[in-house]
Amino acid sequence: MIHIAWWILFFPLISFAIIPFIPEAKRIFAGWIACVGIFFSFLITLRFARPMFDAGEFHTWYSKINWILIPGLQLELGFFIDSLAILMLLVVTGVGTAIFYYSLEYMEHDEGYKRYFAGLSLFAFSMIGIVISGNLLQLFIFWELVGLSSYLLIGHWYQKDEAADAGKKAFLTNRIGDFGFLIGILLLWTFSGPAGSRTLNFLQLNASISSFVQSSPAHATGLTIAMLLIFCGVLGKSAQFPLHVWLPDAMEGPTPVSALIHAATMVAAGVYLLARMFSLFLLSPVALEIIAYIGGFTALFAATQAIVQKDIKRVLAYSTLSQLGYMVMAIGLGSAAVGMYHLTTHAFFKALLFLGAGSIIHATEKQNIFEMGGVIKKMPFTSAAFLIGTFALIGFWPSSGFFSKDKILALAFSENRLLFISSAITVFLTALYMGRAISLMFFGASKIRKKLHEPSQKILMPLLILSILSLAGGFFGFERFLHDPNHHEMSGPNSLVIQLATVLGLAGVFSGFFFYRIGEKNRKSLLQPFSWAYEILMRKYFMDDLYDFLIRYIQQPFAKLLDWFERTIIVEGAVNHAASFTALTGRYFKKLQTGRIQTYLSVFFSGVVIAIYLIRFGALH
């Protein structure tokens, strides 16, 4: 059992290694190899998950090999599979398989077909690596690798300037977060014990850090700083404010990539990290509180921007930001289980939404929701899937989103009223922007000239599976994985919260329909007073402008300044002037070199005579 665990990790890697060697003429095999790779990983994961589904038993598997052994530092590679990891593995490999399969058709005619599937396999490998990592540094390694695959896949259509820029932006923003993450790791490493017995292993970290915190009150502050630095990594990867700017741009990648990486799994890696290290975060209440506020703020902040987006993928991207904010907030409020639960359901319905949107984009070749309309008549199946996803995203009973979102709201209700209010507003906003998108896309007169038809089963099959999961995921018992005693118990249903959320959701959907369908004609006049707000939202609260400003007017001039310093002060000033000084002295001394051999000889002989005289009669005698 323990040996096959490695294969969860290695199957996608093998696919990745094989794909570049497939000849271009038989490239269809590349897609299938990638699919088979992740499907095998999924099967092995199921094998691990079965005892839990069957009997609710909790096992952990742990194994490691030494990777680097240097006096003072031991780095090991290993896996640590507990129920949390299995849940995440199920999400990654399960949703992954569906999306890989979907890509077979979606990317069929793409020029970079092989490259695409190689990238997806690399991503699957690194993402699984994050999930099963047994220590923090190993997690960091895979954490960086998902960043790489994300960069490659966002920039898949590298010939488009936007895509190339977006990939770069995503990677660099993540790098800034990882800067803090790495320092956090170093700090934790120092805290974990005296030199020589330090560790980054998850199994030992908890005990050593708690004894560290108890040994002195000042250490608690140190730990808070360390945990917040680690949270910096989460800010980048899970796109929380203020490092969220890369995620909307990342929609330049192919839609299945957006579904898998930028909605379901990779961006959730940050949340997974928080859950994985939750027992450490619990030692620092201050850090948790800050995390909760950042999460809550991101949820609200992103939801407002989703209202004005015109590109369906960007609507969904901001929605992802907002939902990630929920998860982070839930963990910050003290329940990793609730956060992870929402992560699971969100993976289902957000992947479904993206794939549905992808299916529509594939058919219509349009992404702007104002240019669609009436799609439901022509693509009923896809539309139904999309509607189910919407249903779950807003959180109506009995969809899976209902269960998880309700738990978050109930948690906020009992822990922090301010965050509860903001979350409730976010519920309304979520319903509003999804109502707007649906009314524009599916209903009304069609603005599409093209003849539309449903895609083939390769696209519909994943939609069907994900629809089922989104709709009925709440009854499959995923929360059983989260009853691990390490995590907070989930609070039971709170009827007040449920009613409020449902009412807000309905109100939101209705307002969406009202403004964009029923009351469409009056929309302009109704919204006129709010045009300033619209402007702010369209400019993304000036966040991109701020970063542009920092890069263009602070960072770049600084680089230019250093370059100038290099050229004028160091090279021109110090080095070249030293050289010209030498040249100048040389100009005077060269007059001694007449070039006449007989002059030299005369000097030489005079020298000899003087030397002899001195030796014989002079001072040297």
Site for another protein in 86-105 (CB under 8 A): none
Q: Are 339 and 423 in contact (CB under 8 A)?
A: no
What is the smallest separation between the CB atom of 177 and another protein, expressed in angstroms?
A: 10
Q: Using the rule CB under 8 A, is 498 a contact of another protein?
A: no
The answer to whether 202 and 78 are in contact (CB under 8 A) is no
Give me the residues paired with residue 133 across strands.
79
- The token pair that represents 286 in the structure block: 């201050």
Do the Cβ atoms of 480 and 401 come closer than 8 Å?
no
Instruction: Pick one of 10, 53, 189, 381: the residue that binds another protein (CB under 8 A).
Output: 189
Indicate which single residue of 18, 141, 286, 464 sits in contact with another protein (rule: CB under 8 A): 141
**Span interacting with another protein, options 64-72, 338-346, 487-495, 514-522, rule CB under 8 A:** 64-72
Instruction: Give me the 158-187 binding string for another protein, x by CB under 8 A, dash otherwise.
Output: xxxx--xx--x--xx--xx--x--xx--x-
In whole angstroms, what is the distance from residue 83 CA to residue 607 CA? 94
Q: How far apart are CA 290 and CA 228, in angstroms?
A: 8
Residue 159 beta carbon to another protein: minimum distance, rounded to whole angstroms = 5
**Closest by alpha carbon to 266, among 49, 17, 13, 88?**
88
Are the C-beta atoms of residues 176 and 214 closer than 8 Å to each other? no
Q: Strand, coil or helix: what is 259?
A: helix
Closest approach, Cβ 277 to another protein, in A, equals 19
SS3 577: helix
CA distances from 10 to 6, 22, 85, 180, 310 (A): 6, 19, 16, 30, 40
Based on CB atoms, which residue is closest to another protein, 534 or 581? 581
Shortest approach of another protein to residue 457 CB, angstroms? 33
**Residues 255, 355: contact at Cβ < 8 Å?**
yes
Which residues have CB under 8 Å from 609's CB, separation 6+? Answer: none
Nearer to another protein, 522 or 585 (CB): 585
Residue 133, SS3 per DSSP: strand
Candidates 534, 549, 605, 613; binder of another protein (CB under 8 A) is 605
Q: How far is the CB of 551 from another protein (least distance, A)?
A: 9
| Least Å from the CB of residue 600 to another protein | 10
Token look-up 């590298």 returns: 158
Q: How far is the CB of 145 from another protein (least distance, A)?
A: 6
Instruction: Give yes or no for a contact between 449 and 412, defined as CB atoms under 8 angstroms apart.
Output: no
Q: Is 421 in the site for another protein (CB under 8 A)?
A: no
Q: How many residues bind another protein (CB under 8 A)?
A: 58
Q: Which is nearer to another protein, 1 or 69 (CB)?
A: 69
- Per CB under 8 A, does 76 bind another protein? no
Q: Residue 433 corresponds to which tokens in the numbers above?
A: 């922007």
Q: Among 254-262, 404-412, 600-608, 610-618, which window interacts with another protein (CB under 8 A)? A: 600-608
Identified binder of another protein from the candidate list 4, 574, 584, 610, rule CB under 8 A: 574
Question: Which range, of 68-76, 202-210, 220-228, 434-442, touches another protein by CB under 8 A?
Answer: 68-76
- Counting contacts by CB under 8 A, is residue 597 touching another protein? yes
CB of 153 closer than 8 Å to CB of 115: no
Beta strands at 61-70 and 73-81: parallel, antiparallel or unpaired: antiparallel
Peptide bond into 71 cis (omega under 30): no
Closer by beta carbon to another protein, 76 or else 484: 76
Q: Which is nearer to another protein, 496 or 578 (CB)?
A: 578
137 binds another protein (CB under 8 A): yes
**Shortest distance (Å) from residue 496 CB to another protein:** 47
Mark residues 530-569: x for contact with another protein by CB under 8 A, - for none: -------------------------xx-xxx-xx--x---
Q: Is 479 in the site for another protein (CB under 8 A)?
A: no
Task: Among 43, 46, 49, 148, indicate the residue that binds another protein (CB under 8 A).
Answer: 148
Give the shortest CB-332-to-another protein separation in angstroms: 26
In the bound state with another protein, the residue whose beta carbon lies nearer, of 39 and 67, is: 67
The number of C-alpha atoms within 13 Å of 434 and in the hemisphere containing its C-beta is: 32
d(CA 163, CA 249): 8
Of 79-87, 141-149, 369-377, 440-448, the window that binds another protein (rule: CB under 8 A) is 141-149
| Distance between CA atoms of residues 220 and 226, nearest Å | 10
In angstroms, give the least distance from the CB of 605 to another protein: 6
Nearer to another protein, 60 or 568 (CB): 568
For position 71 contacting another protein by CB under 8 A, the verdict is yes
- Determine contact, residues 151/166, Cβ cutoff 8 Å: no
Q: Which is nearer to another protein, 172 or 452 (CB)?
A: 172
Q: Please, which residues bridge with residue 74 across strands?
A: 69
Q: Which residues in 42-196 belong to E strands, given as ranges?
A: 61-70, 73-81
Q: In a 10 Å sphere around its CB, with 0-12 CB exposed, 13-18 middle and 19+ buried, how is residue 170 labelled?
A: buried
| 311 touches 366 (CB < 8 A) | no
Q: Which residues bind another protein (CB under 8 A)?
A: 66-73, 137, 140-142, 144-145, 148, 151-152, 155, 158-161, 164-165, 168, 171-172, 175-176, 179, 182-183, 186, 189-190, 195, 555-556, 558-560, 562-563, 566, 570-571, 574-575, 579, 590, 593, 595-598, 601-602, 605
